[in-house]
Amino acid sequence: MDIILLGPPGAGKGTQAQRLVEHHGMRQLSTGDMLRETRKADTELGRKVADIMDTGGLVSDEIVSAMIDAKLADMGPDVGAIFDGYPRTAAQADQLDDILAKHGRKLDHVIELHVNEDALVERITGRYTCANCGEGYHDVFKQPAEAGVCDKCGSTEFKRRPDDNEETVRKRMQEYRGKTAPILPGYEERGIVSRVDGMASIEDVTSAIDAVLTR
């Protein structure tokens, strides 16, 4: 089963994708994660990607679609893909259709995480992850049980994304409203969109997504 998790920054796409990976053995394909790897390289592309990400803009459709194509080429047909943060434009949505067809796959569900945008800035600016295992935390909503120590792996190193500041977040939301939200109606016409309340607890959002997938 191949699905898209769609929603503005901070809606919980990454968190839910990780849970789907754990519960159902699906594979998370996050273009944001792929681009964070790309920007680490001291190359022209790495620097260009870093500039775009730090200002909250969108990397070119061709670059992200080529990344998705390459990942799918590596995946067996039985492993479901979770597209997290992709597609983000109408062109990417078209490219995804072509890429899926090329790999003999098809899109089963688009799950829209519906959230109150006012709450998103607080969600995003407070979030951080364990630098060792990637477990997610939040200054207000999810502190480690022992201050400064990761619940999962015991590491004391944590990190924040450079683009999780208020100014960049606002720009990222503007991009979502202007370029990403408009791809929803096309999927709605195909009858594959399910809307889930992204403001519910992490557990409840997971249950709602599971209900869609087992329908």
Task: Give contact residues for ligand AMP (rule: CB under 6 A).
Answer: 9, 31-32, 35, 52-53, 56-59, 64, 85-86, 88, 92, 163, 172
Instruction: State which residue has the least CB distance to ligand AMP.
Output: 32
Is 47 tagged catalytic? no
**Measured over all CA atoms, what is the biggest interatomic distance in the chain, rounded to whole angstroms?**
48
Is 13 tagged catalytic? yes
Is 105 tagged catalytic? no
Cβ proximity to ligand AMP: between 31 and 206 the closer is: 31
Cβ proximity to ligand AMP: between 16 and 92 the closer is: 92
Q: Is 76 annotated as a binding residue?
A: no
Is 88 tagged catalytic? yes
Q: Give CA–CA dist 138/121, Å, rounded.
A: 12
Q: Give CA–CA dist 214/88, Å, rounded.
A: 26
Q: Is 133 annotated as a binding residue?
A: yes
Distant-in-sequence, close-in-space partners of 113: CB < 8 Å, separation ≥ 6 = 5, 6, 7, 11, 12, 13, 16, 196, 198, 205
Beta strands in 61-214 (DSSP E): 81-84, 107-114, 127-130, 136-138, 158-159, 193-197
Give binding residues for ATP as ranges. Answer: 10-15, 127, 200
Give binding residues for Zn(2+) as ranges. Answer: 130, 133, 150, 153
Active site residues: 13, 88, 127, 161, 172
